[in-house]
A and B are shown apart, each in its own frame.
Chain A
Amino acid sequence: MGRTALLRRLLLVPPTLVGVAIVVFVLLRVVPGDPIAMMIPPGASTEDIDRLRAAYGLDQSIAVQMLAWFRDLATGHLGTSISLRQNVGSLILGRLPATLELVALATLIAIVLGTALALIGAFYRRRAGEWAVDGIIGIVVAIPDFLWGLIFILVFGVLYPVLPISGRLDPRLPVEFTTQFYLVEALVTGQLSVARVLLSHMLMPALALALPLSAIIARVLKASLAVAESADYAQMAKARGFSRRAVLLNEALPNAAIPTVTLTGVQFTFLVGGTVLIERIFSYEGIGNMAVDAVINRDLPLIQGIVLTFAVLFIAINLLIDILVTFLNPRLRRG
């Protein structure tokens, strides 16, 4: 991606976000589910309901509410959560790091597993090894992430209780963090024992998220490796006497990686979306879990803030991936 193309992409970001914001705002107010109706106790009169509605600014027209929200957004204020009565921005910033750490670990696992499967499949092409890999990929991709989550809970949480089932941290652990990036902070400050506890909590949800992605990576990378291995440069390396393994790792893999990187980038955004269910199942305190509560409570400002955050994430990740692919592929740099 050239400089002009990058600039064009960056210029498109604000209108895209405004579009997302408008659609989400209007949709949330059009679909059934009144947050005030959710909180009125027995005995409340119509006047009491009106008073509550006015207190949350929901007595205004959609246009007036939207203008007020955009005015707040312009000053960096995402609004106040109805159910949590706190600043939406602070709530999201408090939970987002947990999700990012989980997604990063899941992506890492998916890349390692997917690459390993693809290499094994490519190495044993047209032999039992490739069939076994194809079989594994088929099974892994057929089972959705939340089902993997439940399977892991049953196996590693109940039958062989070696991993914790819920949360991000052991509630009995007397440890305090200065940032919300617990794992990063524990690793950077050398608290390996705390990092181990954090990883043990993250392992099952991360694996559940990673498995379907690893299968997709394996499938695409294996196909790309087959193409790359038949290319002239790979054939030349073989002719010069390099082993099959060396050709695969050093010649075919770097070239086959480009479409896989693009795919991983796209899937990464789906991975972030997948945290909504997985974080719920594992009671993991990330933004996905908070999103479920926000929807259940019809917490309109919080839902809006979360959707907007997801939109920013998706745009940023896609932009980064495009830049990365350009960096990896010299032909695109010149384009």
Chain B
Amino acid sequence: MNGPVFSRRTLLQLAVAGAVTLSLPLGAAHVEAQEAGKTVTIAYNVNLPSFDPTVGASAVNPTIQTIYQAIFDPYIRQAPDLSFEPGLLTKWEYNDDKTKVMLTVRDDAVWHNGDKVTPEDVVWSLERAGNPESGNPIQFVWSKIGNFSIDGNVITADVKEYQPDLFKWMAFLTGYVMPKNYYEEVGAEGFEAKPVGSGPYMVDTFERNAFLRLKANPDYWGGKPAFETVIFKFVPDSTSRVAEIESGAADVTLEIPYEEFDRLKDKPGIVGETIPISDIAMIFINDVGVMKDENVRRAAAMSINKKAIVDRLLRGYGVPIDTLQTPEYDAYDPSITVGYDPDGAKALLEKSGYSTDNPVKFTIQTTRGFKPKDYEMVQAIVGMWRKVGIEATIEVYEIAKHYELRARDELAEAAFYNWGNAIGDPATSTGHAMFGPSPHSVWDGQEVFDAIAPLWAEKDEAKRIEGWKKVDKLIADTGAVIPLLQFVQPIVHIDSVAVVPQANGMLLPQKMTPEG
């Protein structure tokens, strides 16, 4: 018989070797906690799929814009309150008859490779974005201007079709200036491998699905940012993000459950901040079946106690709304209200022959877990509806199916959704959500169509905003959609880092500073 496969001595030796390996000091590679004030680590909720901020699906993902805005400069920047301020453009305007745009490019900006940012870069970026072959998902916005000419730092372009919110888009999705010469030299793949922007931070290291390390741009036109190094750790799971903050592995995080937010903000050394952002919860009404009946639609809207939903389900973190505009938006009109009136809802349903004994029946679709408490909110709403004579069946689907059904105008009679409008223009909220021909709308009513149609090209801004307010009033009065609430973004961070929350939901590292 042979000896034992592993002698006790061998096993002991193996165990000791393993323990020694695990307990070895890191030596040169070991990095202790970074010096305070030099590095900020953000546990971020989405991965970065691609560096080019102007093409592909990631270019229109609002959450990823935080990272893009750290590396690239938008044409125009957006202040925390959604107002607009100079970016790479210091001045932007239409001429009086809105047939030309004039853009002034700042002369003190440089690319991360040291080249100067030029008006040619801006023109190239706009032409590329407007080219249908470029893969820019909102090419239809950028293609509204063309025939560019450059005079010094001023670019002039012809307006092919008037787009009232053109300049607002310059601060948001795909509205970034790209380096013409560098991109043409390295191509798309070379750019992905080594991206160059003109923003406050430069790409240092990128581990896909893991982290992105950025270094401060010492030559940034807006001044070198306060933190030398920024680390975005991609942590899509909210439980793990909470653990990252609690364990001290991250300094800042966002989008965590409100229960966890309330718990964490009371812990020593951790600060919690909230800001109402430009995302809203709403219920699409598809004007089919029983939803053709205005009494049913209005009763559905009037029987929802939005404040109770905010208080009980969202722990107070939400703002009830009655139109698709939030208070920060250009066309917000506080005089338009729907109100919580279950008795009024019952009376309306009675006019159409419905009661609690003979309820009107329809389906409401919702996601589950896509947004905080989405399914729970719909459950609560269905409970409120039941009390007035509405029996709704809940159908849970994935967000991808929602998009598909909405584009085909095949949503159920009611569908819960969250709508984002970071640029704050009514065309992007009420407009696209309610204009029948839009692939985003399931409302086909002629009256709303007639009210919206002339506003797309209205050149008088005051008249345009007033027009949208009238549309919002019409929608509220006829129950064509049910706006529910404005979401509040929870941010937690350690007390030695100061954070500036933004109403557009971005968590910009360039606005973070050491504190204390």
Task: Compute how far the CA of A153 lies from the CA of B242 in the bound complex, rounded to whole angstroms.
Answer: 10
List chain B positions with a Cβ less than 8 A from chain A.
Answer: 1-6, 21-31, 34, 39, 41, 43, 47, 49-50, 52, 55-58, 60, 132, 135, 137-141, 173, 188-189, 192, 205, 207-211, 213, 229, 231, 233-237, 239-240, 243-244, 246-249, 397-401, 403-407, 421, 427-428, 431-433, 437-440
Measured CB to CB, the closest approach of chain A to B212, in angstroms, equals 8
A244 within 8 A of B: no
A171 within 8 A of B: yes
Question: Mask for A172-208, Cβ within 8 A of B = 1, else 0?
Answer: 1111000000000000000111111101100000000
Measured CB to CB, the closest approach of chain A to B168, in angstroms, equals 12
Supply 17 A–B pairs (Cβ within 8 Å), ascending by A. A32-B405, A39-B60, A40-B407, A44-B138, A45-B438, A45-B439, A83-B49, A85-B135, A153-B240, A161-B247, A168-B207, A168-B210, A172-B34, A199-B22, A250-B1, A250-B4, A280-B237
With a cutoff of 8 Å between Cβ atoms, the chain A residues found around residue B247 in the complex are 157-158, 161, 165
Cross-chain contact A283 with B235 (CB below 8 angstroms): yes
Q: Report, as a range, how many residues of chain A touch the other chain.
A: 35 or more
Q: Which residue of A lies closest to B208 (CB)?
A: A285
Cross-chain contact B50 with A95 (CB below 8 angstroms): no
A270 within 8 A of B: no
With a cutoff of 8 Å between Cβ atoms, the chain A residues found around residue B427 in the complex are 43
Give me 19 other A-B pairs in contact (C-beta within 8 A), A37-B403, A39-B57, A172-B231 excluded: A35-B57, A38-B57, A41-B138, A42-B428, A43-B141, A83-B50, A153-B243, A167-B207, A168-B207, A172-B213, A193-B24, A193-B26, A195-B21, A197-B29, A199-B21, A242-B1, A245-B4, A250-B1, A293-B49
Task: Compute how far the CA of A83 lies from the CA of B400 in the bound complex, rounded to whole angstroms.
Answer: 14
Contact A158 to B243, CB < 8 A, known contacts A37-B407, A39-B137, A199-B22: yes
Task: Compute how far the CA of A237 lies from the CA of B22 in the bound complex, rounded to whole angstroms.
Answer: 40
Contact A281 to B237, CB < 8 A, known contacts A83-B49, A83-B56, A165-B249: yes
With a cutoff of 8 Å between Cβ atoms, the chain B residues found around residue A83 in the complex are 49-50, 56-58
Cross-chain contact A33 with B439 (CB below 8 angstroms): no
Task: Compute how far the CA of A249 lies from the CA of B135 in the bound complex, rounded to whole angstroms.
Answer: 64
Indicate which residue in A40, A166, A237, A298 contacts B137 across the interface (CB closer than 8 Å): A40
Cross-chain contact B4 with A246 (CB below 8 angstroms): yes
Task: Compute how far the CA of A35 lies from the CA of B125 in the bound complex, rounded to whole angstroms.
Answer: 26
Measured CB to CB, the closest approach of chain A to B247, in angstroms, equals 4
Indicate which residue in A41, A82, A153, A171 contacts B233 across the interface (CB closer than 8 Å): A171
List chain A positions with a Cβ less than 8 A from chain B.
Answer: 32-35, 37-46, 48-49, 51-52, 55, 82-86, 94-95, 150, 153-154, 157-158, 161, 164-175, 191-197, 199-200, 237, 240, 242, 245-246, 249-251, 253-254, 280-286, 289-290, 292-293, 297-298
Q: Which residue of B lies closest to A47 (CB)?
A: B140
Measured CB to CB, the closest approach of chain B to A168, in angstroms, equals 6
Task: Compute how far the CA of A86 lies from the CA of B50 in the bound complex, rounded to whole angstroms.
Answer: 9
Cross-chain contact B210 with A285 (CB below 8 angstroms): yes
Indicate which residue in B31, B34, B244 contacts A166 across the interface (CB closer than 8 Å): B244
Cross-chain contact B21 with A41 (CB below 8 angstroms): no
Cross-chain contact A165 with B244 (CB below 8 angstroms): yes
Cross-chain contact B207 with A285 (CB below 8 angstroms): yes
